[in-house]
Structure 1
Amino acid sequence: MMFSCDTPLFSCRIAPLGGVRPLPSRYSATGVPKRQLEFLTGRALAEQCLTAQGASETYVARGDNRAPIWPDGFCGSISHSDQLCAAIAGRAENVPGIGVDLAEEKSVEAALSDVVCHPDDDPQLTLTELFCAKEAFYKLWHPVTDVFLEFRDVVLRIDDGHITAEVMKAHRPSDKLSGTTGRIWRVAGHHLSAFSAGPHAIEALNTLGHMLKIEQGA
């Protein structure tokens, strides 16, 4: 395990692909061996997070769109790169929504700039940071709204380390998304971004950032 953090609001795990043993046997993983390893490592970390949060059921099903289906009363998110996997989960009554994404530094090619970037995106964020943070936001957004977004449907701005997301596409507002905020950090050659919603969102992300700094000796 590379990183483990348990708080009253959420639990987070980060590990190398295949770095969790034993891998859960109750899931049906498909695809090439590497794809199976990504899927099973993510589920193993997600189950650890749910257990730490007191869930009696830790099975994370897979929806028709391949997105995780979390046990009743809980929300969470899973992400992986070619090297690492991350999972985060919490009780929905404390954190009504949360999304996480990992991206290797400078892994997004400049040719994708027109796909990822909106003209009003904050220039303080690099292309890969924008990609990573928008992915994290979408993982928070979609389970709540069931509304599909393109990268350019979201404008990101950063102030004092906190990222705000403005959705440019017409949508029906949701109280569950009130207080949405995001952060982004560097972890082992990667960008790690997380978005959370609700009255405890800032506290949750500040705590995660603090624990990451401690883990990395910063």
Structure 2
Amino acid sequence: MFETLLPACAKVVVAKDWMWNTPVFQEEEAFIERAVEKRRREFRASRHSAHEALSVFEHNDFRLLPGGGRAPQWPAGIVGAVTHTGQFCAVAIAAAQECRGLGIDAEQNSPLSDELKQMICTPSEQAWVTEQEAAGKLWVSKLIFSAKESVHKVYYPLNQYTLDFLDAELVIDLAACSFHARILKPVVNASVPIHSLKGRFFVDDQLVYSAIFYANEPI
């Protein structure tokens, strides 16, 4: 699905069944030696998917290790993002000369609890969610959560700063399957000042998907 949300220059790999339980490189396995089974499965699926994607860019046998904030440390000249939920895992990467930042996220198609809505959504977003849920679109709160996760995956690697969910506010165009994120509280003296980001989304019966391609040049 992410292939339809991102430009053709981005390579997307969805984890295959064998990837979840097959050990990865020794250096990568060291990071999950004491992890619970769920974490080991997700980590292996994401690394095998990343290895396949990176091979397209001739980065064969690259060890994709976690860095600050547990974010993957991609090889020089590559930007990328990982997402996993339930039995779904995907990786998207692109050349840095075309893309400054890349964010993808997939979430289960179910509404957030009222408590989480207050933690994730600004007052204007909460009002919009209430209106849309009354019309039967029960997944819109999860869409906001997913889109803000994609915002984080673009913003953090560029600025080494974690935005709070309430530090960004979304305007969502349901008809166009797109969203615009305005950064309300950017980090002071940001390495890469970002005031807004645009993304796309898709929803099916199982999952809510969001993606942001922050281009170096207009695509």
TM-score (norm 2): 0.79
**2:20 and 2:41 in contact (8 A); partners too:** no
Deviates more, 1:14-23 or 1:135-144: 14-23
Determine the structure 2 residue equivalent to 1:109: 113
The alpha carbon displacement at 1:53 in A equals: 2.9
**Identity percentage of aligned residues:** 25
Determine the structure 2 residue equivalent to 1:213: none
SS at match of 1:62: coil
Determine the structure 2 residue equivalent to 1:210: none
The alpha carbon displacement at 1:187 in A equals: 4.8
For structure 2, the residue ranges without an aligned partner over 5 or more in a row are: 133-138
Determine the structure 2 residue equivalent to 1:138: 152
TM-score (norm 1): 0.79
Determine the structure 1 residue equivalent to 2:136: none
C-alpha distance 16-188 of structure 1, shift in aligned 2 (>3 A)? farther
2:207 matches 1:190: yes
The alpha carbon displacement at 1:58 in A equals: 2.9
Distance in 2 (CA, whole Å) between partners of 1:7 and 1:49 is: 15
Determine the structure 1 residue equivalent to 2:10: 10
Determine the structure 2 residue equivalent to 1:207: none
Determine the structure 2 residue equivalent to 1:161: 177
Alignment of 1:1-218 (within 5 A): 9-15=9-15, 18-19=18-19, 22-26=22-26, 27-28=28-29, 29-30=32-33, 31-56=35-60, 58-106=62-110, 108-121=112-125, 123=129, 126-159=140-173, 160-171=176-187, 172=189, 177=194, 180-187=197-204, 189-199=206-216, 203=219
The one-letter code sitting in structure 2 at the alignment partner of 1:152 is L
Distance in 1 (CA, whole Å) between partners of 2:85 and 2:159 is: 26
SS at match of 1:103: strand
Distance in 2 (CA, whole Å) between partners of 1:23 and 1:73 is: 26
For structure 1, the residue ranges without an aligned partner over 5 or more in a row are: 204-218
Distance in 2 (CA, whole Å) between partners of 1:49 and 1:161 is: 26
The alpha carbon displacement at 1:39 in A equals: 0.5
**1:179 and 1:197 in contact (8 A); partners too:** no
How many residues are aligned here?
A: 201
**1:95 and 1:198 in contact (8 A); partners too:** yes
The alpha carbon displacement at 1:136 in A equals: 1.0
The one-letter code sitting in structure 2 at the alignment partner of 1:136 is S
SS at match of 1:156: strand
Higher RCO (Cα < 8 Å, 6 or more apart): 2
The one-letter code sitting in structure 2 at the alignment partner of 1:164 is H
Q: Which has the higher helix share?
A: 2
The alpha carbon displacement at 1:4 in A equals: 7.5
Structure 1 residues 126-156: Cα deviation after superposition (integer angstroms, max 9, x where no partner)? 1111111100110011101112211111101
C-alpha distance 75-170 of structure 1, shift in aligned 2 (>3 A)? closer
The one-letter code sitting in structure 1 at the alignment partner of 2:38 is K
Distance in 2 (CA, whole Å) between partners of 1:133 and 1:44 is: 25
**1:97 and 1:177 in contact (8 A); partners too:** no
